[in-house]
Amino acid sequence: MRILLCGGAGYIGCHTYTVLVERGHQVVIADNFANSSPQVLARLEQVTGKPVPFHPLDMRDRPGVDAFFARQTFDAVVHFAALKAVGESCERPLDYFENNISGTIYLLQAMRAAGVPRLVFSSSATVYGEPESVPVREDAPLRVTNPYGRTKLVMEELIGDVCRADPHFRAANLRYFNPVGAHASGLLGEDPSDTPSNLMPYICQVAVGRREKLRIFGGDYPTPDGTGVRDYIHVMDLARAHADALDYLVNEDRNLTVNLGTGRGISVMELVHAFAKASSREVPYEIVDRRPGDAAEVYADPALAQRLLGWRAELDVDAMCRDAWRWQSMNPYGYAAGRVEEDRVEEAVSLV
Ligand code: NAD
Ligand code: UFG
């Protein structure tokens, strides 16, 4: 298939690129680098051994999106392009609605006009808010607790409406739990532009010496060790699920909404210990107050993804920590540090 990855230069998009190329697809990346770096494209060329087809595109630029689709043919789009910081979304809700929701509307309109028949959408466990019970199944009540979450829910709903209006259009909503880890090469990984708000990148930066200590938000949750429990999933397992979802849309010709998690809850403390073991580094920490809005325990029931896609997570928490550490120790300051010259980036890319 010829597949467009909107937001494909980001953390999950670039890992998915490697899997799709490995499976023999022709893959094109479109991104505006709002939260990523062109350096990723040079790394992708290194990993895959081929120039990376790339188109600079801002999803908010409706004429630009239309013009691109008018001259390109795709069998499917995977839509990663979104702003994703929960805290920032509370400060700048309109920017989130514009970027995530308007961008998705323009994308869907251009896809419809160009007759692109399939969409895989990056949704999130955030659509469950604070779940009533765990493990969380796809039919659990949806209730969001912040503007970022609201954009994900609205986007799922508007994609559903488009599917109902056009019985030939196919879409997959993939509800990711907590993606972590990195590509086994150590060349690709998560590279937050600001102070990390997520646990794993924060631990990585503490272990590599960029930050003094981790603050563990809450030690008094009703969980086995008192710290919050989440379903961390290796980004390469997640990447593989996108390829499987694309196959499902083609072969089964049905729409799809599935959780992507391991089904195993891991506490903050367990992750800290697993990381210390994998990296042979200390991860100093202190337990502080709970972070407002955090649930005690969120983990997936991934049975539906297994049944429909034949997919299940294979990499355990030790692999997640080992690969995250390989990435962080090889790139202590992320993509910026091992910077290749701009003309090298240009050589790594074939503009589409
Ligand atoms: P990321 O920020 O690393 O990647 C998103 C990419 O989209 C970036 O390269 C960014 O530059 C690009 N982008 C944003 N707005 C754009 C626009 N208007 N036009 C073009 N490109 C644009 O994030 P990620 O972690 O790779 O997440 C990918 C998707 O998965 C997002 O939709 C996110 O909401 C969703 N998701 C992420 C997580 C997570 O914890 N990482 C969890 C659940 C869902
Ligand atoms: N945590 C800490 N210290 C930190 C960061 C996090 O103790 O410095 C704890 C949190 O309290 C939580 C756990 O680590 O118990 C995981 O926190 P993350 O911020 O890594 O992940 P969340 O589950 O809170 O949020 C993630 C995504 C959101 C998404 C949500 C549900 O970041 O975008 O999953 O899918 F909405």
> Residue 185 CB: number of other CB atoms within 10 A?
15
At 344 the pLDDT is 75
Decide whether any atom of ligand 1 lies within 6 Å of the 82 Cβ. yes
pLDDT at 347 over 90: no
Per-residue pLDDT tens digits for 86-127: 999 999 999 999 999 999 999 999 999 999 999 999 999 999
Q: List residues bridging with 286 in a β-sheet.
A: 215
CA of 12 to the centre of ligand 1 (A): 7
Mean of the pLDDT values across residues 35-63? 97
Query: Atom 19 of ligand 1 has which residue's CA nearest to it?
Result: 58
Which of 138, 178, 266 maximizes ligand 2 atoms within 8 Å of its Cβ, making it the mutation to test the pocket? 178
Query: Atom 12 of ligand 2 has which residue's CA nearest to it?
Result: 228
Closest CA to 324 of 206, 195, 175: 206
Mean of the pLDDT values across residues 174-183? 98
Mean of the pLDDT values across residues 294-309? 97
At 345 the pLDDT is 82
Mean of the pLDDT values across residues 18-27? 98
Tokens of 148: 């970022």
Per-residue pLDDT tens digits for 260-272: 999 999 999 999 9
pLDDT at 340 over 70: no
pLDDT at 151 over 80: yes
**Which residues are within 8 A (CB) of 76 and not within 5 positions of it... i.e. 6 or more apart?**
1, 3, 4, 116, 117, 118, 119, 120, 246, 249
Contact 203, 214 (CB under 8 A): yes
- Parse the chain into domains and list their residue ranges: 2-351
Query: Atom 6 of ligand 2 has which residue's CA nearest to it?
Result: 199
Per-residue pLDDT tens digits for 206-238: 999 999 999 999 999 999 999 999 999 999 999
Mean of the pLDDT values across residues 71-99? 96
At 338 the pLDDT is 60
At 339 the pLDDT is 62
- 194-198, 243-247, 254-258: range with lowest mean pLDDT: 194-198
The pLDDT > 90 percentage for the chain reads: 95
pTM of the entire predicted model: 0.97
pLDDT at 337 over 80: no
Q: List residues bridging with 53 in a β-sheet.
A: 350
Mean per-residue pLDDT over the chain, rounded: 96
Cα dist from 232 to 295, 297, 300, whole Å: 15, 12, 10
Residue 13 alpha carbon, nearest atom of ligand 1: 26
Residue 268 alpha carbon, nearest atom of ligand 2: 14
CA of 114 to the centre of ligand 2 (A): 38
Ligand 2 pocket residues where CB is under 6 Å: 84, 86, 124-126, 149, 177-178, 197-199, 202, 214-217, 228, 230, 268, 291, 294
So what's the architecture of 2-351 in CATH?
A: 3-Layer(aba) Sandwich (3.40)
Complete DSSP assignment for 130-176: S-SSSSBPTTSPP---SHHHHHHHHHHHHHHHHHHH-TT-EEEEEEE
Confidence band for 346, pLDDT divided at 50, 70 and 90: confident
Contact 120, 65 (CB under 8 A): no
The pLDDT > 70 percentage for the chain reads: 98
